[in-house]
Amino acid sequence: MIISQFDFPKFINSINRCYAKDILEDLPKPSDFPSSIFDRNGNLNIEDIINFADNASDDFLKSVVKRMLAVINIQKSRDEGVDLNIKATWQLILESIYFLPSENIISSIGSQGFLSIPLYKYDLELENFDFIRFHIWDNSLRSLINLEICERLSIHTHSFFAKSWIICGKLVNECYSVMETNKPTDFSLFTVGYNKTLNEVNQHTSVATNTGNNVLVNLTERRTYQSGDSYNVEAGHYHKSLSLGEDGLAATFFSFTAKDGIVDKSYVVGPREIDISEVNRKIQIDPTDLINKIDSIVCNYER
């Protein structure tokens, strides 16, 4: 994964926007990095930027650099088809989060009931859309969500190709065929819309609205994954993920990218008697305890 001097500002800005909005002015700007971190070909030298961050006294800069290195690992695994070193990448994310107070880290629960921490988002051109997040499932989150609604509106599609890497725990990914029908069924198709605060990453309200179109739903595949595994979800394909980890604990790195697939809209399957379901991502949740639980597992990995 090569980051050129030309692309570096775009890369840093895509990292910075995934921190809490009120610290954006404190985060490092591209101009805060010396030209010495680039080699003679104008490409980022990983060892040099690590040395620069290690010698810096600014915790914001240290956090951003650690997160940047983790994102590079994830993008390289995805784009070049190589294995992701889970332990090394996790350590980078752990340090990135621990350098700053928890309120500086965006952490909210989405419609599927897991905690979501954005790591990188680029969306200036739709065809280059790239969004990477850190997801956590745990039974302690169940009291913070409407379990019935979460379960009944769990089958969904993504507008972009998605890839998931399991950090810890066990996840089941289920794939479904969904076909519209004129006959009465128990399920309807829902469109997903968002409010206008999309610049506030992972902090917007999403609304699933019943189209009134009846659908037939059939399970086509069910696979279990554990640490070190990864799986893909094609754009527009229906799926849902379930945690089988102890105490419901599981964690993943999750990526959306337009370059491997994109469709116009995303959909959710839900009960036909529901008209609208709304999820507010603006509720900030301290992830510290869950991150400590994950780290206690990952630190015992050989790799």
Residue 3 domain-assigned (yes or no): no
> Lowest mean pLDDT: which of 61-65, 150-154, 229-233?
150-154
Same domain (yes/no): 250, 216:
yes
Residue 21 domain-assigned (yes or no): yes
Residue 302 domain-assigned (yes or no): no
Residue where a domain terminates, one of 98, 119, 144: 98
Q: Are 202 and 267 in contact (CB under 8 A)?
A: no
Same domain (yes/no): 256, 276:
yes
CA distance 228 to 201: 27
Same domain (yes/no): 239, 90:
no
Q: The tokens of 201 are what?
A: 């990453």
Same domain (yes/no): 224, 258:
yes
- Average of pLDDT values for 211-231? 96
Same domain (yes/no): 180, 49:
no
Residue 293 domain-assigned (yes or no): no
Residue 28 domain-assigned (yes or no): yes
CATH number, domain containing residue 126: 2.60.120.10
**pLDDT (tens digit per residue) in 42-68:** 999 999 999 999 999 999 999 999 999
CA distance 49 to 44: 8
Task: Examine the pLDDT at 130 and tell me if it is beyond 90.
Answer: yes
Same domain (yes/no): 128, 200:
yes
CA distance 180 to 208: 17
Domain count, the chain: 2
**pLDDT (tens digit per residue) in 268-277:** 999 999 888 8
State which of 87-91, 194-198, 278-282 shows the largest mean pLDDT. Answer: 87-91
Residue 297 domain-assigned (yes or no): no
Task: Examine the pLDDT at 265 and tell me if it is beyond 70.
Answer: yes
Same domain (yes/no): 73, 112:
no
Per the DSSP assignment, residues forming a β-bridge with 273 are none
**pLDDT (tens digit per residue) in 101-112:** 999 999 998 778
Q: Are 146 and 109 in contact (CB under 8 A)?
A: no
> Whole domain around residue 261: which residue ranges?
108-286
Confidence band of 85 (pLDDT split at 50, 70, 90): very high
CA distance 116 to 108: 5
Distance of alpha carbon 159 from its chain centroid, rounded? Answer: 14
Give the full edge-to-edge strand order of the sheet including 160-168.
108-109, 115-122, 130-137, 250-262, 160-168, 230-233
The larger pLDDT score, comparing residue 84 to residue 200, is at 84
Same domain (yes/no): 269, 128:
yes
pLDDT attached to residue 11:
97
Confidence band of 303 (pLDDT split at 50, 70, 90): low
Confidence band of 278 (pLDDT split at 50, 70, 90): confident
Q: Are 108 and 284 in contact (CB under 8 A)?
A: yes
pTM greater than 0.95? no
Residue 77 domain-assigned (yes or no): yes
pLDDT attached to residue 151:
83
Q: What average pLDDT does the structure give for the chain?
A: 91
In the three-class reduction of DSSP (H, G, I as helix; E, B as strand; rest coil), residue 133 is classed as: strand
CA distance 228 to 88: 12
In the three-class reduction of DSSP (H, G, I as helix; E, B as strand; rest coil), residue 78 is classed as: helix
pLDDT attached to residue 231:
96
Same domain (yes/no): 176, 89:
no
Same domain (yes/no): 158, 184:
yes
Residue 300 domain-assigned (yes or no): no
pLDDT attached to residue 197:
46
CA distance 27 to 137: 29
| Other residues' Cβ atoms within 10 Å of the Cβ of residue 292 | 11
- Average of pLDDT values for 82-90? 96
> Lowest mean pLDDT: which of 80-84, 194-198, 212-216, 232-236?
194-198
pLDDT attached to residue 201:
67
Residue where a domain terminates, one of 54, 70, 98: 98
Residue where a domain terminates, one of 71, 98, 125: 98
Same domain (yes/no): 23, 129:
no
User: Which amino acid is present at 20?
Assistant: A
Same domain (yes/no): 77, 131:
no
Q: The tokens of 221 are what?
A: 């595949």
- Average of pLDDT values for 64-76? 97
